[in-house]
Amino acid sequence: MLARNRTVGRFTNAKSNTFESDLPEFEPYNKGLEPRGTQDEATKAANLSVLSVDMRVTENKAEHITDKYKNTNLIVRRNKEFTIIIKFDRDFNKEQDNVVMEFLIGSKPDENKDTYITISIGKEKRDVSWKSRVINIQGKDVTVGITPDPSCIVGRFRSFTVVVSDLGKQRTPRNPDTDVYVLFNPWDSADQVYMQKEEDRQEYVLNDVGVIFIGDFSEVSSRPWNYGQFEQGILDACLLILDAAKVPLVYRGNATEVIRQASALLNAQDDNGVLIGNWSGEYSEGTSPTAWTGSTEILLKYAKEGATPVAFAQCWVFAGVLNTFLRCLGLPARVITNYASAHDNTGNLKTDIILDEDGKMDKERTRDSIWNYHCWNEVYMKRTDLPEKFWGWQVVDATPQETSDGLYRCGPTSVSAVKEGELSYPFDARFVFAELNSDVIYHKADKTGKTKIIYVDTAYVGKLTVTKRCNSNEYEDITSTYKYPEGSLKERETMQMAERRGVSIGNYFPLTEAGVDMEVQADVVKMGEDLKLNIKIKNQTTEKCTMSIILTGCVVFYTGVTSSVFKSENKDVTVEPSQTETLQISVQAVEYMRDLVEQSNLLFVVYGHIEELNQSLSSMKVVTLLPPALSIQITGTPQVGKELMVSVEFLNPYNFILKDVQLRLDGPGLIRTKLKKYRQIFPGGSIKFKESIIPLISGKKTLIAVLDCAELRQVTNEIKFEVLKKATVKPVTEEVEKETIEKERVVENVNNNP
């Protein structure tokens, strides 16, 4: 049957969540030629009707730690009991009455596929995956406890209550209010994504705001991100992602599968995913990747426009939105930043830098690149498909870099398997290993264009891997979870294991025996300031070294892709035996400002040739220029129901006009993303944006501001504060909250006047 119904395309057979095909309200038994019963007769036969079903949404959500979700339906976690109350039209008789509850998901619910769950409430008992028990019978009211299976499908189930009589089944009509969302359960040890520490669950499942680390390993900076997984519409948007790609329901109870699918679905490279990657610098057809404050604006736009990809994203946007998706479904997740991340497109552990005949970098021939930083995600889980030692944190990466098995995706990959060089296990361990362990190979061309390896740097790539610390905005250095220390015995063993698992490890003849080291250093400066580079040359030999140094300075994307070369300088230096000389090279702001591309990274490649030894050295350094300040302030005491004033200010410190400036203000649990547009900000000119907020929920809150324009990227700030409980006695009801959200939506217009 299956084989015959297949048509061309992916998952054509999938029974996704969005297409319902429900059961009839009355279903008579059809026994050959015997007369069938009618609906009336059946009701009479059973002499029992369901008046209402109370899903006990508020109580169950509090129990299931899903009360933060702005969603009026019941949301529960797997393998934890929730209780409902069924009201009948007469007293319920446990021994005689035969009542069944049905939970259906997808267009073709099927008992054998776990998409059609039935539980018995009355006399008949049967084997089911979900457990149930009658907790209490009070006349017409029956309280039932229901426990979804620990590995059941995650998604939105439709529920029906069925009275079974000799003539047939009488079903309650379809009622969206009795739909139940079932999520992964990191609180339950039987769940695949169980996480032991409450502190960890608070951060990796429940924290809806965070920071993502960017910059350079020598100058770690961060930008705030609103994950907003509990905001209205986000849970439905996350399920829509799976439905739009027709991910078969049978996969949706398995975290490994959900994650693997998600890594492909977050990018639009295949399957009309969520985000369109763009590293061109030209974003006028959408929103610049640097302009977003978080995931909610993106996911709501995606859902509103019927699963149309949103423009544009770069790695932290992919990682930020994937993190929302994961936490929203109950998967413990975090965003990782890997500094000096190799992007290897040959499948070998090397990144090739080609210098031309003169020692300057050859942009055309240098195809591999090293990203200043690259962001991916980790999910904490039992990889039941792998040996137990590889459980725990798993890498998943939604940024479209290389095709994994024909689709743009990467992971899940066990972090510990990467550390041990055990690269045979799925998925994409070799790619992650290369991002962390590649060597940088410097080649130099002769006049005929032939290249020769002149220098190998084994320590440049994967120097630092970080993530946000629990309950703090500082970074946690997790490099040691991915790698053994550089030069250690364990590192060599890992490399040998990786080689036995099919990775080509470069075996370079000793190139650096010269005993001369060269290092480039630079201070941190603000964009628009002059800059000093120090080239330190350490001569550890017993002979004098006469060196000619060539420095190439170019503007570079965070992806390591170089733009224009703005500086090229030759210097000669003599270093006496066992001495260190420092060459200082000045870079004026005017030299780089006119060529500056987004994110303000400068790459300096230095080539040095030692005359006496006829040997070459090479080194490089990325300088990240700091953006100007964006100020964000609040006035008034943050308290539920009380007006709070927020003001965001910015001063243009440059001697050029900033055009088409976007300013976003965002705060999960406080406001939806506000966008304000300014046509231009003149040199020395400033803007001030004020907004009034009435907090509705107490607790720790964050407001995030982002300013963005073609001339200036990554200008962000945030403010954290505690919202106090309401002073008056009257509680904030859900009705009130809903109304206010509606009001906000109207206000959320775009103001084009500065």
With CB under 8 A as the contact rule, the residue among 400, 412, 553, 608 that binds a second copy is 400
Active site residue 443: no
What is the C-alpha separation between 430 and 503, in angstroms, rounded? 7
Does position 110 interact with a second copy (CB under 8 A)? The reply is: yes
Q: Report the run of H or E that residue 481 belongs to, with start and end.
A: helix 479-482
Report residue 626 as tokens. 């700091």
What is the C-alpha separation between 591 and 683, in angstroms, rounded? 19
Question: Maximum CA pair distance of the chain?
Answer: 109
With CB under 8 A as the contact rule, the residue among 33, 35, 95, 112 that binds a second copy is 112
Nearer to a second copy, 37 or 668 (CB): 37
Least separation in angstroms between CB 454 and a second copy: 13
Report residue 543 as tokens. 């002979």
Nearer to a second copy, 55 or 307 (CB): 307
What is the C-alpha separation between 380 and 334, in angstroms, rounded? 9
Nearer to a second copy, 498 or 545 (CB): 498
Least separation in angstroms between CB 129 and a second copy: 12
Q: Which residue is associated with the tokens 């001030």?
A: 688
Least separation in angstroms between CB 582 and a second copy: 30
Nearer to a second copy, 148 or 669 (CB): 148
What is the C-alpha separation between 372 and 480, in angstroms, rounded? 19
Least Cα distance to 745 among 235, 70, 67 occurs for: 70
**40 contacts: CB under 8 Å, gap ≥ 6:** none
Least separation in angstroms between CB 406 and a second copy: 5
Active site residue 64: no
What is the C-alpha separation between 276 and 289, in angstroms, rounded? 10
| Rg of the chain (C-alpha set) | 30
Least Cα distance to 713 among 671, 752, 658 occurs for: 658
Query: DSSP labels for 246-293?
Result: T--GGGTT-HHHHHHHHHHHTBTTSTT-SEEE--SS--TTS--GGG--
Classified as helix, coil or strand, 187 is coil
Does position 9 interact with a second copy (CB under 8 A)? The reply is: yes
Catalytic residue among 152, 216, 238, 315: 315
Annotation-wise, does 491 bind a ligand? yes
What is the C-alpha separation between 449 and 464, in angstroms, rounded? 35
Instruction: Show the binding pattern over residues 521-560: x = contacts a second copy (CB under 8 A), - = does not.
Output: ------------------------------------x-x-
b/e per residue, 571-595, with b = 16+ CB within 10 A? eeeebeeeeeeebebebebeebbee
Least separation in angstroms between CB 333 and a second copy: 21
Nearer to a second copy, 223 or 350 (CB): 350
Q: Report the run of H or E that residue 520 belongs to, with start and end.
A: strand 516-522
Instruction: Show the binding pattern over residues 484-523: x = contacts a second copy (CB under 8 A), - = does not.
Output: ----------------xxx---------------------
Stretch that binds a second copy, among 206-214, 221-229, 360-368, 743-751 (CB under 8 A): 360-368
CA distances from 574 to 535, 543, 586 (A): 13, 11, 20
Stretch that binds a second copy, among 42-50, 141-149, 445-453, 723-731 (CB under 8 A): 445-453
With CB under 8 A as the contact rule, the residue among 56, 68, 87, 113 that binds a second copy is 113
Are 626 and 531 in contact by the 8 Å Cβ rule? The answer is no
Stretch that binds a second copy, among 74-82, 361-369, 570-578, 587-595 (CB under 8 A): 361-369
Are 649 and 707 in contact by the 8 Å Cβ rule? The answer is no
Q: In what order do the strands lie in the sheet with 50-54?
A: 50-54, 82-88, 141-147, 131-138
Least separation in angstroms between CB 423 and a second copy: 7
Q: Report the run of H or E that residue 658 belongs to, with start and end.
A: strand 658-667
Stretch that binds a second copy, among 133-141, 173-181, 400-408, 672-680 (CB under 8 A): 400-408
Stretch that binds a second copy, among 5-13, 133-141, 485-493, 512-520 (CB under 8 A): 5-13
Annotation-wise, does 437 bind a ligand? yes
With CB under 8 A as the contact rule, the residue among 70, 78, 169, 201 that binds a second copy is 169
Least separation in angstroms between CB 569 and a second copy: 17
With CB under 8 A as the contact rule, the residue among 36, 90, 133, 367 that binds a second copy is 367
Catalytic residue among 216, 397, 428, 457: 397
Nearer to a second copy, 264 or 593 (CB): 264
User: Please, where are the H alpha helices in 79-195?
Assistant: none
Nearer to a second copy, 176 or 406 (CB): 406
Which positions from 666 through 705 interact with a second copy, judged by CB under 8 A?
none
Least separation in angstroms between CB 389 and a second copy: 12
With CB under 8 A as the contact rule, the residue among 132, 185, 295, 401 that binds a second copy is 401
Are 114 and 104 in contact by the 8 Å Cβ rule? The answer is no
Distance of CA 300 to the CA centre of its chain: 16
Strand partners, 538: 517, 580
With CB under 8 A as the contact rule, the residue among 126, 176, 635, 730 that binds a second copy is 126
Active site residue 397: yes
Q: What angle (nearest 5°) sits at the alpha carbon of residue 720, between those of residues 719 and 723?
A: 125
Annotation-wise, does 435 bind a ligand? no
With CB under 8 A as the contact rule, the residue among 171, 301, 343, 419 that binds a second copy is 343
Least Cα distance to 508 among 460, 455, 468 occurs for: 455
b/e per residue, 53-71, with b = 16+ CB within 10 A? bebbbeebbebbbbebbbb
Q: Which residue is associated with the tokens 């949301």?
A: 75
Residues 651/311/378/331 CA torsion (nearest 10 deg): 110
Does position 561 interact with a second copy (CB under 8 A)? The reply is: yes
**752 contacts: CB under 8 Å, gap ≥ 6:** 677, 679
Catalytic residue among 64, 374, 443, 609: 374
With CB under 8 A as the contact rule, the residue among 347, 485, 683, 731 that binds a second copy is 347
Least separation in angstroms between CB 358 and a second copy: 8
With CB under 8 A as the contact rule, the residue among 153, 317, 423, 593 that binds a second copy is 423
Which positions from 228 through 287 interact with a second copy, judged by CB under 8 A?
250, 260-261, 264, 268-270, 277, 279-280
Q: DSSP assignment, residue 206?
A: I
Does position 33 interact with a second copy (CB under 8 A)? The reply is: no
Residues 184/190/194/198 CA torsion (nearest 10 deg): 110
Nearer to a second copy, 50 or 162 (CB): 162
Least Cα distance to 476 among 693, 204, 675 occurs for: 204
Instruction: Show the binding pattern over residues 376-395: x = contacts a second copy (CB under 8 A), - = does not.
Output: --------xxxx--------
With CB under 8 A as the contact rule, the residue among 20, 198, 305, 357 that binds a second copy is 357
CA distances from 540 to 84, 577, 607 (A): 78, 6, 18
Does position 730 interact with a second copy (CB under 8 A)? The reply is: no
Least separation in angstroms between CB 657 and a second copy: 27
Are 437 and 506 in contact by the 8 Å Cβ rule? The answer is no
Question: Total binding residues for a second copy by CB under 8 A?
Answer: 66
Which positions from 446 through 485 interact with a second copy, judged by CB under 8 A?
447-448, 450-452
Annotation-wise, does 519 bind a ligand? no
Least separation in angstroms between CB 385 and a second copy: 4
Which positions from 307 through 326 interact with a second copy, judged by CB under 8 A?
none
Catalytic residues: 315, 374, 397
Name the residues that contact a second copy, by CB under 8 A: 1-4, 6, 8-11, 29, 31, 110-113, 118, 126, 164, 169, 250, 260-261, 264, 268-270, 277, 279-280, 343, 345-347, 352, 357, 366-369, 384-387, 400-401, 403, 405-407, 423-427, 430, 447-448, 450-452, 500-502, 557, 559, 561
Please enumerate, by residue number, every residue annotated as part of a binding site for Ca(2+): 437, 439, 486, 491
